[in-house]
Amino acid sequence: LPAHHMVVAFDLGLLDYVHLNRAAVNTLADRIALATRQHIYGEPINGTGPRLVSIRHPDGDRSAIQVLFDRPINQAFNNYDNQFRVFEVRGSNLRVELPLRRVSRDQNPCAVRLTLYAPASAPLQVSYGQRVAPGLHMPLANVVKDADGLPAPRFGPLPVQD
């Protein structure tokens, strides 16, 4: 939407099952300030982090998925905190989650590569950022981030393009 901008918070630690803890509130305030500086005051800074560009099978390889962002991202550590999920679409309302063999940064420094155990035989969807930290007060430290440490937003499930 015009004049609307998103600040990512899903990776921040919680005080309880709803509210951010004090450290997370401070981090969120910093992120809001950066977004304001970029999008309201027009400063030439990175205020919102990486954004999704496309999700596709690279070179027609249906056993791999490339998730492309608009800028370089960090290396994969701990499978990006297991935030990527892949679903096979079977029928109109049935989605089956597929196990991932590997989650890594692609050869393209702006992309993540999701590798399946076998080529997909049905359409696929990908989601990111749907899982919460394993405990209260625990941030998700290993999510997709750009060089400035700003995280990519949650998305999906979205279709994989052939």
Instruction: List, for residues 115-159, the tens digit of each pLDDT value.
Output: 999 999 999 999 999 877 777 678 888 999 999 999 999 999 999
- Quick one: three-class SS letters along the chain? CCCCCCCCCCCCCECCCCCECHHHHHHHHHHHHHHHHHHCCCCCCCCCCCCEEEEECHHHCCCEEEEEECCCCCCCCHHHHHCEEEEEEECCCEEEEECEEEEEECCCCCEEEEEECCCCCCCEEEEECCCCCCCCCCCCCCCCECCCCCECCCEEEEECEC
Compute the mean pLDDT over every residue in the chain, rounded to the nearest whole number.
Answer: 93
